Homo-oligomer: A and B are copies of this chain.
Amino acid sequence: MSHNTFGHLFRVTTFGESHGPAIGCVVDGCPPLIPLSEAEIQRDLDKRRPGQSRYTTQRQEPDQVRIVSGVFAREADGEQVTTGTSIGLLIDNVDQRSKDYSEIKDKYRPGHADFTYDVKYGIRDYRGGGRSSARETAMRVAAGAIARKVVPGMVVRGALVQMGPHKVDRDNWDWDEVGNNPFFCPDAKAAERFADYLDGIRKSGSSIGAVLEIVAEGVPAGLGAPIYGKLDAEIAAALMSINAVKGVEIGEGFAAAELSGEDNADEMRAGNDGKTLFLSNHAGGVLGGISTGQPIVARFAVKPTSSILSPRATVNRTGGETEMFTKGRHDPCVGIRAVPVGEAMVACVLADQYLRHRAQVGVVAPRWPFES
């Protein structure tokens, strides 16, 4: 992970500003011969696309992705597959309304990266947040759509589990429900509460934070690497790198601080199929930085949108004091659209670790139980 690239072997490099001509990404190191179409990347992108309900920004971006390299028609059936070379993806920016930027070009919006980009680089593209805009996350979702196909049998899903003070009831968890409401909420009743609650927030011009959960199933045991290449460490970095994220946890997470060793232990039995059966998953699928074969469970906290209608004190570029409030199109709860982004980041980490495991060990198959 450095600057605009993440991953070691499955490597994603992105470019593009919110209001420039296009955003793009290069996925390098992808295995060859994986079927890949624009349509299936588009499917994931459409989940992240703004303007699909009254709870997300009304910016209208079709986010139509083009694959410009790294795929070729397979001889046998003409299906388009990866070739092992770098995959270039492009999305043209369409909805770049010409607008008046005089308000934001010299003032720093509190909670935004305006100040830090300016202090670091001495210049920033202030139009729509420039490079720090969440628009960049569209390319993460696109890369994630490819990553999902790298690990055979893996399914990565995400859900919004808390909005402000409202949490889902885990007894009501139904993955099928996630697509039935505009919040990616797995609990139909909680979704109704979210709707009422967020309508109030939206109308008042305020915003609210959220907690999201990503679950990856079908991840083979053995992925991850000791010490600094730990699977959970890389998931933590991947999720924390998403705009507005302030916390990440695996399995019990912060709740583990209050657990005793007895309560936190995931006891093990020999399953009927000769595979390990963990009697619980407090670990969230990772022990010593390496996957156990159980579902990988990660949660992350998204802060409230910084763009709000109430004026806030701030400073300008030349040192003067002033205040600001946000006009224009914004999400009252940016956490919602972070669900497909979180899925994509976890998928990318797992694809990368899958390839790294295959490199060092040569096989991706549980060795346990060993021969006696």
Contact = CB atoms under 8 A, between A and B. Distances in A.
A282 B209 CA distance: 13
Interface residues of A, number: 165
A334 to B, nearest CB: 10
Interface string A307-329: 11010111101111100000000
A53 interface: no
A127 B74 CA distance: 14
Q: Which of A75, A112, A131, A307 gathers the greatest number of chain B CB atoms within 10 Å?
A: A131
A230 interface: yes
A370 to B, nearest CB: 5
Contacts of A302: 256-257
A247 B238 CA distance: 14
Interface in A126-146: 130-132, 136
A183 interface: no
**This chain: copies in complex:** 4
Interface in A1-41: 1-6, 8-9, 11, 13-17, 20-24, 26, 28-33
B253 A246 contact: yes
A209 B256 contact: yes
Contacts of A17: 69-70, 85
A326 to B, nearest CB: 9
A173 interface: no
Interface in A268-319: 268-270, 274, 276, 279, 282-284, 287-293, 301-308, 310, 312-315, 317-319
Given A5-B11, A209-B257, A256-B303, A249 B251 contact: no
Interface string A72-101: 101100000101111110100000000000
Contact of A111 (B75, B266, B269): B266
Given A15-B88, A252-B246, A236 B240 contact: yes
Nearest to A12: B228
B313 A360 contact: no
Contact of A257 (B112, B210, B320): B210
Contact of A358 (B136, B258, B359): B359
Contact of A69 (B1, B20, B29, B83): B20
Contact of A305 (B13, B87, B261, B317): B261
A321 B221 contact: no
Contacts of A250: 240, 246-247
Contacts of A355: 359-360
B84 A361 contact: yes
A227 B241 contact: yes
A252 B246 CA distance: 7
A362 B361 CA distance: 11
11 contacts: A2-B229, A13-B26, A26-B26, A72-B130, A118-B370, A206-B260, A208-B261, A233-B236, A257-B301, A261-B305, A276-B315
Contacts of A360: 9, 29-32, 84, 355
